[in-house]
Structure 1
Amino acid sequence: MNILKAIVNKVNDEYVFKISNFNDEYEIYYSINNNMEGKSLLVKGYDEEIKVKSPTDNTRVFFEVINAGRSTGAFSTRLVDVSSIENFRDLGGYVTEDGRRVRWGCFYRCANMGKVNERDKNYLENMGLATISDLRSEMEVATEADVELKNCKYINESGIKDMENSIGSKDNFDMLSVLKEMLRNIEKMNDIESFLVSGYRTMVEKNEAFKIFFDNIKQEERLPLVFHCTAGKDRTGVAGALLLLALGVSEKKL
């Protein structure tokens, strides 16, 4: 029989499961821990798709499907249920080249964490986040500081390398200042594609921010860890790609 598989998405106050390669009745368990410690039975079913009311709304939940002695292992939704932070995603579940999967509930990526409402702050604290890795510049942090979470270490090291030779900027510039500078200089504006390509290439070379990032993800006590920049795309995207590549995920699957 093929490997038991399951995915889940949250729609309003319900979890929607899609399950494949099962035989007769299956059981879905849930836990607030990604190791499924203290798991409880959520529902039994026979259908390929099943909707279940959320067992809790104040923290992230992990699931496990068991059928005929087989288990999916722990999994969860890709998107984290916080409305005041853009694009908050779990990097778990990606398949590595040797057939294993990245563990759910260890590594998260998102956009700016400066405008977090009270409900989402409590939700994040209940998740037990141990580290926030802020890849923004000092200028960006000064403009809008991250939310402070209980028992969570905050680390800030800019993921943008000094490009003053390219745009005449000072250290700790932010992406907005880069674009403004290019708009003031039409010659650089015409060459924006090569500038950005060069910026991405140099971003990962001898960059202290990514060294610190990897030093932290290697320490179990620093997990779960969330990393972000301002928009959660460029610096965050580079960090996410480096992390998944280091864990053995194929470049084609990024």
Structure 2
Amino acid sequence: MGSLLMAAGCSQEPSISFFCESDRAGNYILKWEVSPKDDDDEIKIYMSKDDAGFQEPPVLTTSVNDYVATIPTGDPIGRHFFRLKVNKTFSGVISNRVFKTDSVQNFRDLGGYNTVTGKQVKWGRLYRSGELYELTGKDKNMLDALGIKTVVDFRDHEERLQYPDDYQAQKIIHIPMYTGNRAYVREKIIDGTFYRGDAIIFTQDTYKTLITDYSEEFAQLFDILCDEANYPVLIHGYLGKDRVGLASYILLYVLGVSNAVNEDDYLLSNSNISEEQVMGEARFLPERMQEAATVVCKVNLSYLNYAKTCMINKSGSIDNYITNELKLTEDKKEKLRQILLY
């Protein structure tokens, strides 16, 4: 499990940047950078199972020059949150972003990011992932522990029929978006008639279709996210990278996360999708066929930029697309900020 290196989002000095990951045994590894700092400065680490409150005393006090600490919790299922303190300066709330799973691709928390206005996206409210097909017992326990209340499934009818979700949340909402016959594409890759160029065109066409034909479906998602009673929410597709990737990008954009950080979140799919699990025997194919498989299983900023160009072509700007096509009024945007920002 892991997260990006994040700044504290605090105007006071010193500035604290952090990184957090955890393992299946419940150990958290915290890494930090403090600037400016004195060599004799101490860093205090506070831990809580509730991101809304942190109590004295800290679980660990150590030198800022240690840069890393491992915090064992003895709890492989429960979620833990942290804050760092140097002198009188606190970091933002810290937790792991990525979850190691046995049967789910690309499962991660959309929280933790700082906005350009100094706010922070709340942890534990909104998750994103691939499909929930044939979950292991461990993965079901993880979802239960996270308290997932609403699952939003972007897969189309055929995808859901062939690979039904194996998790029963209180609310399961289907918002189907057709992105091509994945079994057909996989078969074409394996039989050697679908190459890298074909895969790139296929993916670009998918992103264009999502922007031009499915604005009502994305608007439906944001209406769901504007209802605080639905949280915590998990949105998923097949691999959680294209339909979910665009939805996540638009949401973080609305919340005020910088474009650079937003793009980094989009690219995190590349390190959290197992091409071997997705394509199986394709990894033994000749290189030119493997290149096609990689395109299908991964994301690239060129696809995201193409989607943004499609938004601009359709509405004149990304902001206009969000307002006019996705029906995200200023009131709805403010509601999302109230629900999802510290």
Aligned residues: 241
Q: Which residue of 2 aligns with 1:92?
A: 111
Q: Which of 252, 257, 267 is the matching residue for 1:244?
A: 252
Q: Which residue of 2 aligns with 1:15?
A: 28
Contact 1:229–1:235 (CA<8 Å) still a contact in 2? yes
The TM-score, its normalising length taken from structure 2, stands at 0.61
Q: Secondary structure at the match of 1:199?
A: helix
Structure 1's 64 and 192: CA in aligned 2 closer, same or farther, altered over 3 A? closer
Tell me whether 1:205 sits opposite 2:212 in the alignment.
yes
Structure 1's 57 and 181: CA in aligned 2 closer, same or farther, altered over 3 A? closer
C-alpha separation in 2, matches of 1:81 and 1:197: 29
The TM-score, its normalising length taken from structure 1, stands at 0.80
Structure 1's 181 and 209: CA in aligned 2 closer, same or farther, altered over 3 A? farther
Contact 2:152–2:233 (CA<8 Å) still a contact in 1? yes
C-alpha separation in 1, matches of 2:67 and 2:240: 34
C-alpha separation in 1, matches of 2:57 and 2:100: 21
As a proportion of its length, which structure holds more helix? Answer: 2
Q: Which residue of 2 aligns with 1:221?
A: 229
Shift of 1:147: 2.5
Structure 1's 126 and 41: CA in aligned 2 closer, same or farther, altered over 3 A? farther
C-alpha separation in 2, matches of 1:196 and 1:70: 45
| 1:23-72 deviation line (CA, Å, top 9, x unaligned) | 63332222233323779843222232111213411222221223323221
C-alpha separation in 1, matches of 2:54 and 2:62: 22
| 1:105-142 deviation line (CA, Å, top 9, x unaligned) | 22211111112111221221111112111110111111
Contact 1:20–1:48 (CA<8 Å) still a contact in 2? yes
Q: How does 1:1-254 map to 2 (within 5 A)?
A: 1-11=13-23, 13=25, 14-21=27-34, 24-36=41-53, 41-46=58-63, 47-150=66-169, 152-160=170-178, 174-177=181-184, 193-207=200-214, 208-253=216-261, 254=263
C-alpha separation in 1, matches of 2:220 and 2:151: 12
Contact 1:9–1:78 (CA<8 Å) still a contact in 2? yes
Q: Which residue of 2 aligns with 1:170?
A: none
C-alpha separation in 2, matches of 1:74 and 1:39: 15
Shift of 1:93: 2.5
Amino acid at match of 1:29: Y
C-alpha separation in 1, matches of 2:197 and 2:100: 41
C-alpha separation in 1, matches of 2:23 and 2:138: 18
Contact 1:28–1:65 (CA<8 Å) still a contact in 2? yes
C-alpha separation in 1, matches of 2:112 and 2:232: 15
Amino acid at match of 1:210: F
As a proportion of its length, which structure holds more strand? Answer: 1
Amino acid at match of 1:227: I
| Structure 2 gap ranges (5+) | 1-12, 264-342
Amino acid at match of 1:122: N
Contact 2:102–2:138 (CA<8 Å) still a contact in 1? no
Structure 1's 133 and 52: CA in aligned 2 closer, same or farther, altered over 3 A? same
| Structure 1 gap ranges (5+) | 162-172
C-alpha separation in 2, matches of 1:45 and 1:190: 53
Structure 1's 61 and 193: CA in aligned 2 closer, same or farther, altered over 3 A? same
Q: Secondary structure at the match of 1:141?
A: helix
C-alpha separation in 1, matches of 2:236 and 2:55: 31
Contact 1:113–1:146 (CA<8 Å) still a contact in 2? yes
